[in-house]
Structure 1
Amino acid sequence: MFLPGSALLVVSARKTLNRLQRTHGAPATLAANAFPGVAAAIDQHAAAVRDILDLGVENSSLVPASVLLAGYARGILEDLREAAPENPYTTEDWQHTDWLHLRLAAVCSLARPH
């Protein structure tokens, strides 16, 4: 259960998501606007992340979405460090990037207020 005194978790989660927005969210959004295939891939990854957090995390409705998303992203970032694939640097690079980067871009899309 998420306790009201856990505001530090929310602050930490927002910092993680803001950093991720700079490295993956904003560049992926530019690529998605330019390439429909990138947009579709990010949407598919976003649906998978949403299912994982909604169905795979017990009592997920009691935890702020930012905390869930940041926790999930931290796990992906660990995998990314171990696999060491190169970050997509250009808009065109997003067309050929691996699923780890697409998954992080999807986390960013879910974290953005709509």
Structure 2
Amino acid sequence: MAVDAARASLDDLMAWVGVDGLVAALRTPGLLAAIDQHAAAVRDVLGERVTDAPALAEYALDVHAAAIVEGHLLPDPGRLDWSDAPAYLMRLVAVCALADVADCL
């Protein structure tokens, strides 16, 4: 994936789940801790590529695709109870957090 396309994909992801998820996490310490754990898992998978926009975008696309294949409905994040968010959404929010820190947005 090209860098510009990856950044656009990460921007879209941030608009879809990242903003709502991170705002909810800032209000709820337990949720923030859960997102941090998901971010650690992403760092474990991507290693040095965790600051690479294409690697983050491809990882997020894989998580999203797997959720669809597993039959998960993709909820409206604005209406979601983030304290009970499914793991795949938490993982996507973690990708957004990592992308923000890595200046990939």
The TM-score range, normalised by the shorter chain, is 0.7 to 0.9
Q: Equivalent pairs: percent with the same residue?
A: 38
Aligned AA for 1:102?
A: M
Question: Distance in 2 between the 1:101 and 1:45 partners?
Answer: 10
Structure 1 residue 64: deviation in Å?
A: 6.1
Change (3 A) 1:105 1:64: closer
RMSD: 2.0
Which structure 1 residue ranges, 5 or more long, are not aligned?
1-7, 55-59
* Number of residue pairs the alignment of both structures matches: 100
Deviations 1:30-75 (A, max 9, x none): 1101111110010000000001001xxxxx55x9611110010010
Q: Which has the larger radius of gyration?
A: 1
TM-score (norm 2): 0.84
Question: Distance in 2 between the 1:9 and 1:27 partners?
Answer: 27
Which of 104, 110, 113 aligns to 2:101? It is 113
Question: Distance in 1 between the 2:73 and 2:37 partners?
Answer: 21
Which structure 2 residue ranges, 5 or more long, are not aligned?
none
Contact 2:51 2:99 in 1 (8 A): no
Structure 1 match to 2:40 = 47
Question: Distance in 2 between the 1:64 and 1:29 partners?
Answer: 19
Question: Distance in 2 between the 1:89 and 1:64 partners?
Answer: 27
Contact 1:10 1:64 in 2 (8 A): no
Change (3 A) 1:110 1:64: closer
TM-score (norm 1): 0.78
